[in-house]
Chain A
Amino acid sequence: MASNTRSKTMVLLLFVQLCFLLFSSSIAFSPGSAEGYTINGRVKIESMGAQEFILPGKISNIKIILNGGQRVTFLRPDGYFSFHNVPAGTHLIEVDAIGYFFSPVRVDYYEIREPFSIMSIVKSPMGLMMGFMLIVVFLMPKLMENVDPEEMRRAQEEMRNQGVPTLASLLPGAGRSS
């Protein structure tokens, strides 16, 4: 049997403008809300013939449902809605409006891959190793230059007297025994 009293054709137009806004810095300090993206959208219902998109008074009973009832929100007079503090991932938005069919809208949000930057390379282990090598290659000769030539000679003489420094002699305490 089943039933219906509505016979007029239903025109629907769901226009969801999905913009993902990273929350303002105020939230970044609060560790409790690590999740924090906003889904903004708009529901447009094309009324018969008229250019106006929203039927005033009729939209007060339209509900927007996130992920099968996890959250429910309502439309503002201009047809916009928003879900706050949505975690990254894939979400499903459904519109519950009696007399209209809306296809569920899929929303994907992935973590933004960090853009290329010099700092990220510098910070990586390879970058650090490279940096160290550069320091050794370019800065060490400079340092040597600054050393007093006499002191340098003395140090070289000392090294010659001791012969080739062994590992044992470099160790603390080993020098006393020799």
Chain B
Amino acid sequence: MGMAIRVFFVLLLFISCTKLSFSLYEDQVGLMDWHQQYIGKVKHAVFHTQKTGRKRVLVSTEENVVASLDLRHGEIFWRHVLGPNDVIDGLDIALGKYVITLSSDGTLLRAWNLPDGQMVWEALLEGSKSSKSILKVPVTLKVEKDNVILVFGKGVLHAVSSSDGEVLWRKDFVAESVEVQHISQSSQGDVIYAVGFVDFSNLHVYQINAKNGELLKAPSAAFLGGIFGDLLSVSSNVFAVLDGTRSSIATINVHDGEISYQETLIADLVKDSSAKAVILPSRISGMFALELNSLLILIKVTDNGKLVVVDKVTNVAALSDALLISEEQNAFALVQHGGSKIQLTVKGGYDWNTDLLKESIVMDPERGNVNKIFINNYLRTDRSHGFRALIVMEDHSLLLVQQGAIVWSREDGLASVVDVVTSELPVEKVGVSVAKVEQNLFEWLKGHLLKLKGTLMLASPEDVVAIQALRLRSSEKSKMTRDHNGFRKLLIVLTRAGKLFALHTGDGRVVWSVLLLSLRKSDACEHPVSLNLYQWQVPHHHAMDENPSVLVIGRCRPILDAPSFISFVDTYTGKELNSLDLVQSVTQVIPLPYTDSTEQRLHLLIDINQQAYLYPKTPEAIGILQNEFSNVYWYSVDADNGVIKGHALKSSCVHEVVDEYCFNSRDLWSVVFPPESENIIATVTRKSNEVVHTQAKVMAEQDVMYKYISRNLLFVATVAPKARGEIGTATPEESWLVVYIIDTVTGRILHRMAHHGSQGPVHAVFSENWVVYHYFNLRAHRYEMSVIEIYDQSRADNKDVWKLVLGKHNLTSPISSYSRPEVISKSQSYFFTHSVKTIAVTSTAKGITSKQLLIGTIGNQVLALDKRYLDPRRSVNPTQAEKEEGIIPLTDSLPIMSQSYITHSLKVEGLRGVVTVPAKLESTTLVFAYGVDLFFTRMAPSRTYDSLTEDFSYALLLITIVALIAAIFVTWVLSERKELQEKWR
């Protein structure tokens, strides 16, 4: 028997050698995380389709991204996300090998290497007056064998060498106070025209020597009626502009330094011209397009300056710029809507009646209207011209259309996520037996043997691939039903374009998407804004027959008092159940902790006058609210005036009639920060759905502290007015940061602390009884992170066992903000190396698992930092008891370990937020990080202590058991034999 035990121990040792690691193995990448790269809504696109090499399209977007996309599949070759203030004004290709971008109001010109995206040069172009920014890369213009890029920005025209970014000459237009609207080159190439207006009424045409920037001539002409909108260049020396009354069109001809213009009444061209006309900015050579009454009128400018109406087109969504397809011929594209299809027409510039291309393409109605179109041509095998079109849709998606079909599409609306909620998946209705999943015992064993090989590091590269595939298959992570551990969910994301997407947490695919009608641009609502998402209905009791739904809040204009609208969307199907246009504004939405009989959550929508509107509008909801009427409190933060106010419900409001779903509010308290010394820069509160397992915190030496846990705590950070600016603008003496913890029911300030010589930006996270915040310390010139923990002192004497026995404790007394408990707070500060974009904290189902902070760093990665590093009880030399408790010796800065980046080698470009959702399994939390990119992973802050890991080798267990039985059998036989021999002796 002794031998059996020995064998067992050897095996045990063997198993324990394959110890679980804290971090991720290389082969686990992509197993439970996914990463999606986006670029945002495309503003400019330039095709690069030479015969040799890969075909690509260069784009710049509203997210300040410049990217090179594969024209075949739409994948990203390379991509750069510029700074948030570095808005791209122009994009072009120079010398056939550099991508040129103009950004920051025409002051930064950069050249990127076309194949790999390496920045080649950067030029700063200076000027003093804000103006339109124009980038022009002439093909033929050369100065001393150097190709020249023309840039107009900040009132100055620059000629820049395209090989090294050196400014060859500059011509300042600041003194002339002219608004330059167009830069062009004469047909000979030696003269540059800069056309602009002074005071919207005097046209100036500056003729500049292309070689040295010398002003040759500057003729001008006066427009008595003024102008409206921008000047459009029809051809190299003909321009069109609307006059000030928008009733006539002026065509301007510049010839040999002379300006001649003639005006044509729109009424002469079109009969019904009562509506206001707009000249579209599309450059279609020899013609221009006038939009009138949602009718597009194409007007040709003849050689003698006369205007001829060529065509009137209805339902036009977008018009492309002209494309030179041969030496003589131009072409441009036109997109029309018709039902579920779009009609793409490519017309030649000279012969209007024949279409070069006419295709109709079936388009998903959830993509909305076509917003922009860019075209490119290619030669077919029969030497005729074929066209491909890049289309930007209303939902910001990007499509490539060729030969009547969508070749590829990119959901770039997901680059601008505004808000995220999660939804459960449907319950699996039919039970699936284990046997069905593990079809074949042999297969199953083979798979586990393969895994065993992997753990023993015997696997060949092919085996590793096989293991990966096996894992992906067995994890069933992309199934459309709820799983036991709660890992599979739907992420409902709202984008800036007003589109709602449901992403599967397993693989990140789009399950459904819906473009909300109320969030679409319309005549009534010119600039709709997507605001927030709330969980409207989360069925538990009716999980089998009711679908969960979300509440979407939007606003008509980007101002606070604009009328709002709400919409309800089913999260299983993506169907819009209902939508309401509200008269009032919505400044705040308060999900109440009560649900009605259909499990719809009660919500209070607060308008700008602090009137509360109850939703759902049912008598039942009113009844529930009446019961809890005196328990509803909320607060409002007016950062501009430095006032925080507490509110409670008062009475039903009386408009014309009594509206029983509307309530007036009364102010309970207010905290006023003097604007000359403190400005509010950040407010953070606890997540309303956070679960706390226990109030007690057991310390070393059998001591207990009670966490002060209240849902109504608000963290407020204020800074000195001078310290509001960027880092480096204030001295340590004139800047301070003050943090408060305020009870939002009573307005009581529980804690106040000043950090002298510190300033914002402040990023903070509030959880349980603690708050962690990140700010900049000007004296040390480093970032710092501080923690504040609040403990309830009034419960501290409950430690006495006798009191408990005799019943003299207050553990059963209700927790109320009004009871003014005695609290103590502890605080500590640490240095932190990096700038931070956002901070979140892990959340688990029961709140037992220890917490980790998730820090979105400036490098667009997410760093997990154990909360134990931010513990005010840390000291330089912790006692033995404290060490046992797990207190880490105090260090002046927080450690950053490269293994603790949960995004491992990936980046979430343009990171804006991190959302954590508890899984059903207590040890695990789901993390979703969004920005221009999306990243999702699953993490276990204290390892998966409550389940076997996916790597657990059942084969090893089986082998162990078999080996043990064999060993027992062998030793039994051996001992039998030995016994027999002894007996024979």
Instruction: Report which A residues bind B (CB closer than 8 A).
Output: 1-6, 10, 26-27, 30-33, 56-57, 59-61, 63, 65, 67-77, 82, 84-85, 87, 89-92, 94, 96-99, 101, 103-104, 106
Contact = CB atoms under 8 A, between A and B. Distances in A.
Nearest to B64: A72
Contact of A69 (B837, B861, B899): B837
Contacts of B860: 96
A69 B83 contact: yes
A94 to B, nearest CB: 6
B728 A3 contact: no
Contacts of A10: 898
A60 B124 contact: no
Given A5-B904, A32-B127, A92-B727, 7 more contacts: A2-B23, A2-B897, A3-B899, A3-B900, A4-B898, A70-B83, A98-B907
Nearest to A77: B118
Interface string B711-753: 0000000000000001111000000000000000000000000
Interface of B: 22-24, 26, 28-29, 78, 80-86, 110, 113, 116-122, 124, 126-129, 154, 174, 726-729, 761, 776, 778, 781-782, 833-837, 858-861, 864, 896-902, 904-905, 907, 937, 939-941, 943-944
A90 B126 contact: no
Given A32-B128, A60-B118, A71-B85, A3 B835 contact: no
Given A57-B118, A65-B858, A94-B834, A3 B902 contact: yes
A72 B87 CA distance: 12
A164 to B, nearest CB: 59
A4 B863 CA distance: 11
Contacts of A32: 127-129, 154
B126 A1 contact: no
Nearest to B899: A4
Contact of B24 (A1, A85, A103): A1
Contacts of B82: 72
A149 to B, nearest CB: 60
Contacts of B28: 3
30 contacts: A1-B24, A1-B902, A1-B944, A2-B24, A2-B899, A3-B23, A3-B29, A4-B23, A4-B901, A5-B26, A5-B904, A6-B904, A30-B126, A33-B126, A63-B859, A69-B83, A69-B84, A72-B81, A73-B83, A73-B122, A76-B122, A77-B118, A77-B119, A82-B122, A85-B126, A90-B727, A92-B781, A94-B859, A96-B860, A97-B859
B100 to A, nearest CB: 14
A1 B23 contact: yes
Nearest to A57: B116
Contacts of B124: 84-85
Given A3-B23, A73-B122, A98-B907, A68 B781 contact: no
B791 to A, nearest CB: 29
B127 A103 contact: no
A72 B778 CA distance: 21
Given A33-B128, A60-B116, A2 B728 contact: no
Contact of B83 (A33, A59, A72, A94): A72
A71 B86 contact: yes
A59 B452 CA distance: 39
The 3 A-B residue pairs with the shortest CB-CB distance, nearest first, are: A3-B24, A72-B83, A68-B835
A3 B126 contact: no
Contacts of B122: 73-74, 76, 82
Contacts of B834: 94, 104
Contacts of A5: 24, 26, 29, 904-905
B298 to A, nearest CB: 41
A130 B23 CA distance: 77
A70 B29 CA distance: 33
A61 to B, nearest CB: 8
B659 to A, nearest CB: 46
A106 B776 CA distance: 13
A57 B117 CA distance: 9
B830 to A, nearest CB: 15
A70 B726 contact: yes
Contacts of B24: 1-5
* Residue in B122, B127, B864, B897 with the greatest tally of chain A CB atoms within 10 Å: B122
Does more than half of chain A's interface fall in helix, strand or loop, or is it mixed? Answer: loop
Nearest to B780: A106
B119 A74 contact: yes
Contact of A59 (B118, B728, B944): B118
A32 B174 CA distance: 11
A94 B776 CA distance: 14
A36 B82 CA distance: 21
Given A27-B126, A67-B727, A74-B119, A2 B901 contact: yes
B450 to A, nearest CB: 21
Contacts of A26: 126
Nearest to B896: A101
A60 B728 contact: no
A88 B833 CA distance: 23
A155 to B, nearest CB: 57
A81 to B, nearest CB: 8
A2 B85 contact: no
Contacts of A65: 83, 835, 858
A85 B937 CA distance: 41
B962 to A, nearest CB: 32
A71 B154 CA distance: 19
A72 B108 CA distance: 12
Given A30-B127, A68-B761, A1 B901 contact: no
Contact of B727 (A68, A72, A82): A68
A24 B275 CA distance: 52
Contacts of B174: 30
B904 A3 contact: yes
Given A27-B126, A69-B835, A92-B781, A76 B119 contact: yes
Contacts of A74: 80, 110, 119, 122
B898 A101 contact: yes
User: Which of B81, B116, B126, B940 has the most A CB atoms < 10 Å from its CB?
Assistant: B126
Given A5-B904, A65-B858, A94-B834, A60 B119 contact: yes
A2 B126 contact: no
A10 to B, nearest CB: 7
A1 B761 contact: no
Contacts of B117: 60
A96 B128 CA distance: 31
Contact of A98 (B729, B778, B859): B859
A60 B113 CA distance: 9
B737 to A, nearest CB: 15
B941 A89 contact: no
A78 B47 CA distance: 29
Contact of A99 (B78, B120, B727, B905): B905
A67 B728 contact: yes
Given A1-B941, A5-B29, A77-B118, A96 B859 contact: yes
A63 B121 CA distance: 14
A91 B836 CA distance: 16
A1 B80 contact: no
B727 A91 contact: yes
Nearest to A82: B122
B921 to A, nearest CB: 13
Residue of B116, B728, B900 with most partner-chain A CB within 10 A: B728
A103 B113 CA distance: 28
Contacts of B835: 65, 68-69, 92, 94, 104
Contacts of A89: 728-729
B113 to A, nearest CB: 8
A5 to B, nearest CB: 5
A75 B112 CA distance: 11
Contacts of A3: 23-24, 28-29, 899-902, 904, 937
A131 B836 CA distance: 58
Nearest to A107: B728
A57 to B, nearest CB: 6
Contacts of A90: 727-728, 778, 781
